[in-house]
A and B are shown apart, each in its own frame.
Chain A
Amino acid sequence: MALLEISDLCASASGKEILRGVDLTVNSAEIHAIMGPNGSGKSTLAQVLVGHPAYVVTRGSVVYDGQDLLDMEPEVRAQAGVFLAFQYPVEIPGVTNAYFLRAAYNEIRKSKGLEEVDPMDFLDLLEEKLKLVEWGPEIMQRAVNAGFSGGEKKRNEILQMAVLEPRLAILDETDSGLDIDALRIVADGVNALKRPENATIIVTHYQRLLNYIVPDFVHVLSAGRIVRSGGKELALELEAKGYEWLTGGAEAA
């Protein structure tokens, strides 16, 4: 059974139709890349999968691990293992990274009927995860993303992903705005978290990240539809030729 099965998904925001029939199947252990020009609906697809209230699903279905994903509250999706590394992570002044991450971690444990971990034990667990993103413990005492640079915010998303260990990780433009070192840290993080039972969807409009995280499938989204799917070589082709030949300039309007 597929881990994620998206069928004929249509979604709109503020009365505007954005997704126009997306079909996508993701199995465990697979890495999928979703590419496409700006405005093609990549972030919308990611946001719909995690239940962002700004988007209304008008048609279609999403089955995740045998369950109707669209029927689940956002927190329940997270507890079930769906994680989105946001294109624009949110600043939360007044909540420390440590508190936030432990709260999230414990909610997910609670949902599985496991004991909550206390702050001390959580620190131990964190130590190893911090290494993955090459950070010291100081970062945990800072407010969530508050005053973080663009690169730090992206790294923080990867840290959260490392701690929460999702089954389905969706990375929305996690590579944009990163220098080469940060890009490597992000890629190493993603690769280190790879498990046979998990899957990853990488949303990007450059193929740069795909040099570090090699996808099994590449899909091109244009005007709210997947217009082409292929193997990793499709990404290279897109890099060389641009999107025009596939999209016909649909997003230019």
Chain B
Amino acid sequence: MIDEYRRTFAAFAANGGGRGPEWLATLRRNGMDRFAAIGFPTTHDEEWRFTPVSSIARVPFTLAPQPTMELSAAEVEPFRFGHDEWPTLVFVNGRYSARLSYRSVLPPGVQLRPLSEVLESEPTSLEGTLGHSGSLDGTSFTALNAAFLQDGAVLSVASGVELPSPMHFVFVATRDAQGVMVHPRNVVQVGDGARVNFIESYLSLDNESSYLTNAVTEVRVGSGAWVEHVRVQRESEAASHIGWTEVHQARDSHYRSFTLALGGRLSRLNLHARSNASNTETLLYGLYLTRNEQLADTHTAIFHDHPNCRSWEVYKGILTDRSRAVFNGKVFVKPEAQKTDAKQTNRNLLLSEGAKVNTKPQLEIFADDVKCTHGATVGRLDETAHFYLQSRGIPRVAARKLLTYAFAAEVVNEVTVAPVREALGRLVWARLAEGT
């Protein structure tokens, strides 16, 4: 299996992936070597205990043939958010599509470009970021991402700039993506005091093709900056989605994220937030909806290394059929991180007998003057509330849907941009209407 990936890598290096600056070639080679050395994780790895990736390891994925299938703007249209003029970068099977993208006139100090273009036109500009991702490239999937990294979104916002609207990165898998792997790498750099909203979407035009998305996103939040990051995963329900988001926050900054996982036969998100100075705020909200045989895994990690930082995390799950979810929330508080205020909540709603959740809060606290709490629940629909709605004339099934939606709404409502929040609400509602 590793040999298959080595061969794919050699072919990749020989054509498109061979181009670019030396540091990039080194990064890719190191990624490949690292992956070859450790291979895919197994359930013996603590981090993957409940999430077997045998379905990924069994078949070797290949890179999407280029050029990929042509898509019309109309096909992508339903997946846009908000208004037409919101800047949107569209990637088809991992490669940037200028034709489908919309890059309006951006305010001075804002650059939104595909990674492929940045690597071509400014070969050294990302060396400091990508070239020194360090731990980021240490796991099987992030190493594989480094080996094959080629495209993705690069957003950089200068100090003090306030973005007038969200930026949207859309990764589309086409109907012929069967057996294909894509390795998006996104880089978001937000200057001091800037205010930024961005959305990452992963989606498929059908619900049957089995492919692998293995995405890595790095977010750097300048001091005093405010960032909202929405991540929507609605891959094909036969696909595998592995995501790794790494956030670095500077002093006095605010980072909030909302992640939604709807698709993927298997999906895994690692979301890691680390502050390099004091007085930061980190808000992580998320929702996963699973049905049939889906497995959705969320691993979050918040590193409190400095004093006076606050983190607030609420993840919710709604599961039906024989689906599964895994939630692991790590919070590390170093001895010097006094006055840390960290709260973590994971709540799960099981709508069927066969659904199952493995939830594990993992707090490691080494400071004494802190406020850290966590709570995890796995429950069923509140029958008392259900009857209350019925007693007001709302039919049983509708009442059930309404309560299920209400459970989800608590986190969806944390999204601050109204059109995005509403679109996400509709997405969740539509999914629940299908019977989840």
Chain A interface residue bracket vs B: 20 to 34
Against A, the Cβ 8 Å flags (1 = close, 0 = not) of B404-436 are 011111100000000000000000000000000
Complex Cα distance A74/B383, Å? 13
- Write the nearest CB–CB distance from A205 to chain B, whole angstroms: 22
Is B83 interfacial (CB-CB < 8 Å)?
no
Contact B385 A74 (CB under 8 A): no
CB neighbours (8 Å) of A143 from chain B are 406
Task: Tell me the complex Cα distance, A100–B408, Å.
Answer: 16
Question: Interface code B395-410, partner A: CB below 8 Å = 1, 0 otherwise?
Answer: 1101100110111111
A84 at interface, CB cutoff 8 A: yes
Enumerate chain B residues within 8 angstroms of A111, measured Cβ to Cβ: 393
B402 CB to nearest A CB, Å: 6
Q: Which of chain A's residues have a CB closer than 8 A to the CB of B40? A: none
Specify the chain A residue showing the minimal Cβ separation from B402.
A95
Residues of B in contact (CB 8 Å), total 24
Known: A90-B385, A95-B403. A84 touches B391 (CB 8 A): yes
B385, B390, B398, B406: the one within 8 Å of A73 (CB): B390
Q: Are A86 and B392 in contact (CB under 8 A)?
A: no
List, in ascending order, chain A residues with CB within 8 A of B15's CB: none
**Number of A-B contacts defined by CB within 8 Å:** 75
Task: State A108–B399 Cα separation when bound (angstroms).
Answer: 14
A residues less than 8 Å from B408 (CB atoms) = 94
- Which listed residue, B387, B394, B399, B407, touches A94 by the CB 8 Å rule? B407
Main secondary structure of the interface of B (DSSP, over half): helix
Instruction: Indicate whether A180 reaches chain B with its CB closer than 8 angstroms.
Output: no
Instruction: Tell me if A78 and B391 are in contact (CB < 8 A).
Output: yes
The answer to whether B410 touches A94, judged by C-beta atoms less than 8 angstroms apart, is yes
Q: Does A104 contact B (CB under 8 A)?
A: yes
A164–B393 Cα distance when bound, in Å, is 9
Does B53 have its Cβ within 8 Å of any Cβ on chain A? no
Does the CB pair A104–B388 fall under 8 Å?
A: no
Inter-chain contact A95/B391, CB cutoff 8 Å: no
Check if A93 sits within 8 Å of B391, measured CB to CB.
no
Contact A92–B387 (Cβ < 8 Å):
no
Contact A107 B396 (CB under 8 A): no
| Cα distance A84–B384 in the bound complex, in angstroms | 14
Q: In the complex, what's the smallest C-beta–C-beta distance from A52 to chain B, in angstroms?
A: 6
**A222 touches B (CB below 8 Å):** no
The complex places the Cα of A196 from the Cα of B392 at a distance, in Å, of: 22
- For the complex, what is the distance from the CA of A175 to the CA of B391, rounded to whole Å? 20
B389 at the interface (CB under 8 A from A): yes
State whether B396 touches A75 (Cβ < 8 A): yes
| Known A-B contacts A103-B402, A104-B394, A107-B395; A93 and B410 likewise in contact (beta carbons under 8 Å) | yes
What chain A residues lie within 8 Å of B407 (beta carbons)? Answer: 94
B385 CB to nearest chain A CB (Å): 5
**A247 at the B interface (CB under 8 A):** no
How does the 8 Å CB contact mask read for A64-82 relative to B, with 1 for contact and 0 for none? Answer: 0000000001110111000
By a CB distance below 8 angstroms, the chain A residues around B410 are: 93-94
- Cβ B394 vs Cβ A86 within 8 A: no
Q: How far is the CA of A103 from the CA of B397 in the complex (A)?
A: 13
- Contact partner of B406 (CB less than 8 A), chosen from A77, A84, A90, A94, is A94
Give A160 to B394 CA distance when docked, in angstroms. Answer: 13
Instruction: Output the nearest chain A residue to B410 by Cβ-Cβ distance.
Output: A94
Please pick, from A78, A95, A100, A164, the residue contacting B390 in the complex, using a CB distance under 8 A. Answer: A78
> Nearest Cβ distance between residue B331 and chain A, in whole angstroms?
25
Residues of B within 8 A of A150 (CB): none
Neighbouring B residues of A79 by C-beta, 8 Å: 393
Write the nearest CB–CB distance from A62 to chain B, whole angstroms: 16
Check if B392 sits within 8 Å of A100, measured CB to CB.
yes
- State the Cβ distance, A106 to closest chain B Cβ, in Å: 9
B388 and A51: CB pair below 8 A?
A: no
Q: How far is the CB of A75 from chain B (nearest CB, A)?
A: 5
Known: A100-B392, A104-B394, A107-B395. A74 touches B387 (CB 8 A): yes
Q: Which residue of A lies closest to B413 (CB)?
A: A94
Alpha-carbon distance A147/B406, docked complex (angstroms)? 16
Q: Which residue of B lies closest to A92 (CB)?
A: B385
Q: In the complex, what distance in Å separates the CA atom of A100 from the CA atom of B399? A: 10
Known contacts A75-B393, A94-B410, A107 near B388 by CB under 8 Å: no
CA distance A90 to B389 in the complex (A): 9
A103 and B394 form a contact (CB under 8 A): yes
Q: Is A89 an interface residue (CB 8 A)?
A: yes
**Interface flags, B375-390, vs A, CB<8A=1, else 0:** 0000000111101111
Q: What are the residues of chain A within 8 A of B403 when measuring CB–CB? A: 92, 95
Residues of A within 8 Å of B385, CB to CB, are 90-92
- Are B391 and A100 neighbours in the complex by a CB distance under 8 Å? no
> Contact check: which of B384, B395, B396 meets A90 at CB < 8 Å?
B384
In the complex, chain A residues whose CB is within 8 Å of the CB of B383: 53
| Distance in Å: Cβ of B222 to nearest Cβ of chain A | 35
In this assembly, does A223 line the interface, its C-beta being within 8 Å of a C-beta of chain B? Answer: no
Q: Is the CB of B402 within 8 A of A75?
A: no
The CA-CA distance from A86 to B409 in the complex, in Å, is 26
Q: Which residues of A contact B394 (CB under 8 A)?
A: 75, 103-104, 107
Chain B residue numbers with a CB within 8 Å of A95 are 402-403, 406, 409
| Chain B min CB distance to A67 (Å) | 16
A91 CA / B382 CA spacing, docked (Å): 10
Q: How far is the CB of B418 from chain A (nearest CB, A)?
A: 14
- Give residues of chain A (31-70) contacting chain B, Cβ–Cβ below 8 Å: 50-53
Q: Which of B390, B396, B398, B406 contacts A92 (CB 8 A)?
A: B406
New contact pairs (13) apart from A52-B387, A93-B406, A94-B409, CB-CB < 8 Å: A51-B391, A75-B394, A75-B399, A78-B390, A78-B392, A78-B393, A86-B388, A89-B388, A94-B405, A94-B410, A103-B398, A104-B393, A107-B398
Offer 8 A-B interface pairs, CB within 8 angstroms, sorted by A: A73-B396, A78-B392, A86-B391, A89-B388, A90-B385, A92-B388, A93-B406, A100-B389
A residues apposed to B, CB below 8 Å: 50-53, 73-75, 77-79, 83-84, 86, 89-95, 100, 103-104, 107-108, 111, 143, 160, 164
**In the A-B complex, the 4 residue pairs with the closest CB atoms:** A94-B406, A78-B393, A104-B392, A90-B388
